[in-house]
Amino acid sequence: MPTLNDILILLPEFYLVAAACLLLLLDAFMKPAQRPLLHWLAIAVLLVTIYLVIAGQPEQSVTAFGGMFVRDQVSEILKVFALGTTAMICVYARPYLIDRKLFIGEFYTLLIFAVLGVMLLVSAGNFVTLYLGLELMSLSSYALVALNRDSKLPSEAAIKYFVLGALASGMLLYGMSMVYGASGMGGTPSLDLAQLHHVMAYTTAPNLLLFGLIFMIVGIGFKLGAAPFHMWIPDVYQGAPTPVTTFIASGSKLAAFGMAYRLLSSGMGDLSQHWQLMLAVLAVLSLAIGNLVAIVQTNLKRMLAYSTISHMGYLLLGLAAAGPEGYAAAMFYALSYAVMSVAAFGVILALARAGFECEEIADLKGLNQKSPWMAFLMLLIMLSLAGVPPLFGFWAKALVLEAAIHSHMMWLGIVGIVFAIIGLYYYLYVIKVMYFDKPAEGSVLQSKPDVPLRVVLSLNALSLLVLGLYWGPLFAWCRHAFGL
> Would you list the domain boundaries of the chain?
4-481
Distance (Å, rounded) from C-alpha 146 to C-alpha 431?
Answer: 32
Q: Which of 328-342, 353-367, 431-445 has the lowest mean pLDDT?
A: 431-445
Count of C-beta atoms within a 10 Å radius of residue 169: 18
pLDDT greater at residue 447 or residue 286 = 286
DSSP 457-473: HHHHHHHHHHHHHS-HH
Omega before 234 within 30 of 0, i.e. cis: no
Q: Is the pLDDT of residue 35 over 90?
A: no
- The four Cα atoms 315, 318, 321, 326 give a dihedral, to 10 degrees, of -150
Q: What is the DSSP track for 89-124? A: HHHHHHHHHHHTT---HHHHHHHHHHHHHHHHHHTB
pLDDT at residue 30, rounded to an integer: 83
pLDDT at residue number 152: 86
- pLDDT value at position 441? 62
* Whole-angstrom distance, CA of residue 235 vs CA of residue 150: 18
Report, as an integer, the average pLDDT of 465-483.
92
200: pLDDT strictly greater than 80: no
Mean pLDDT of all residues belonging to the chain: 89
Of 50, 84, 154, which is closest to residue 343 (Cα–Cα)?
84
pLDDT value for 203: 66
pTM of the predicted protein model: 0.94
| Whole-number Cα distances in Å, 161 to 55, 102, 113, 222, 239 | 36, 21, 18, 11, 10
Nearest Cα neighbor of 71 from 12, 114, 134, 133 is 12
Task: Round to whole Å and give the CA distance between 338 and 343.
Answer: 9
Q: Tell me: the pLDDT tens digits for 100-136? A: 888 888 999 999 999 999 999 999 989 999 999 999 9
pLDDT at residue 416 tops 60: yes
pLDDT at 263 over 60: yes
